[in-house]
Amino acid sequence: MAFSLSSYPVVYRAKYTPGGWKEEFLEKPHKSPEAEAALPPPEAEALADSRNFYSDMPLVSYTTQYGLGCFEGLKALPQKNGGLAIFRPDMNAKRFYNSMKGLFMPPFPAELFVDACVEMVRRNLKLGFTLPYKAEWEKDSYMSADSLYIRPFTYAEGGIGVNISGSPWVVIIGTPVSAYFKEGRSDAVVTNRVRANPNGTGWIKADSNYVIAALAKHEAVEAGYMECVFLDAEKHSFVEEGSSCNIFFLLKSDVLVTPNLGDTILPGITRASILELAGERGVKTEERKISIDEALSETKECFVSGTAAGAAPISSITHNGKKFTFGDGRPGELTRELQKTLKGIQYGALPDTKGWMKAIG
């Protein structure tokens, strides 16, 4: 798994009060990066644990009791010419604002979000916590590349009755991550579980949404697959998402289809970026309902997209015990091109003509 709880020492935190948001940066226990890398596993784990505890935040809260909260995921990526840059933080800021608003929390202003993410990374850089660019990543279009994962999340005030949060915290941490999907594993399976229901929170990046996703992904991996695919709740006929990613199908007609957004599908930032990049390549794109039957019979390339996944190929989908392989089972040409372009922009190997990258000064 790409993620490990080895967060960088400087953490951002803000608390909502009737007067607005009170911001602070906390410097958690740390040594030099070199000294930390040399620690034996028990000491390294103890240090990581010390950064993950906050004595002034309640154990019993609407978040811990009911999963009432939301989060974001974005990346600061090592640049080919040096330094780090964050991919489209303004988009994550808008989604975080909308998620909090959808949960009836006081929403976190977008400008505070972007500034806090940048400053959190910058302060860690000053302490020596950074990631070097490696030319070897270019060989596989950055599929194996490292990055700094930025995790903003909400945490509710103390409470035990079922209720909404009126005075939440926003916390932002950073942790280095490696490639999300393991090389050589690209098969998916349709799950019978339901990720989101109409009029629910599927469009929000809500904590509670990921319980079902985690269960379904675990079942898929235990059965030998890389990923699971969710169908709609009402008819269990239309494709919606993967466990933590949007999904795309390049049909035999050369139309690139992804399920249209609604209240059951998360509006992915990588999803939106891929639609834009594909359109610029002259690829016809459609955002619409696509049945699992159409997807399995008419697709020649399939991939999933997300902050962690990028544009990760899916070689086959198994449905009702039958395996459907796309093309020759290897990543398709469009999938490879989109991955190379997206990652090239993110890592500074290609020019950022869109202003997607926010450099860390």
Alpha carbon distance 196, 102 (integer Å): 15
Q: Using alpha carbons only, what angle is made at residue 90 by residues 2 and 174, rounded to the nearest 5 degrees?
A: 35
Domains 10-177 and 187-346 share a fold: no
**Is the pLDDT assigned to residue 248 strictly greater than 50?**
yes
Q: What is the pLDDT of residues 91-134, one digit of tens each?
A: 999 999 999 999 999 999 999 999 999 999 999 999 999 999 99
Alpha carbon distance 241, 306 (integer Å): 11
Lowest mean pLDDT, pick from 12-16, 60-64, 151-155, 304-308: 304-308
**Is the pLDDT assigned to residue 87 strictly greater than 80?**
yes
pLDDT band at residue 1, thresholds of 50, 70 and 90?
very low
Give me the chain's average pLDDT, please.
95
**Is the pLDDT assigned to residue 3 strictly greater than 70?**
no
CA distances from residue 341 to 257, 267, 287, 353, 359 in whole angstroms, order as listed: 19, 21, 21, 12, 19
pLDDT of the residue at 309 = 81
Alpha carbon distance 91, 146 (integer Å): 22
**Quick one: what percent of the chain has pLDDT higher than 90?**
93
Full-model pTM:
0.95
DSSP 46: H
Residues in contact with 91: Cβ distance below 8 Å, sequence separation at least 6, in sequence order:
269, 272
Q: Give the start-to-end residue ranges of the domains of the chain.
A: 10-177, 187-346
Average pLDDT score over residue span 52-63? 96
Average pLDDT score over residue span 315-328? 97
Alpha carbon distance 101, 333 (integer Å): 40
Q: What is the pLDDT of residues 19-40, one digit of tens each?
A: 999 999 999 999 999 999 999 9
DSSP 259: P
User: Residue with structure tokens 């009029």?
Assistant: 199
Domain 10-177 has CATH 3.40.50.180: no
Alpha carbon distance 170, 112 (integer Å): 11
pLDDT of the residue at 54 = 94
pLDDT of the residue at 112 = 98
The letter for the amino acid at 99 is S
pLDDT of the residue at 308 = 83
Average pLDDT score over residue span 63-88? 97
pLDDT of the residue at 106 = 98
Between 3.30.420.40, 3.40.50.720, 3.30.2010.10, 3.20.10.10, what CATH number should domain 187-346 receive? 3.20.10.10
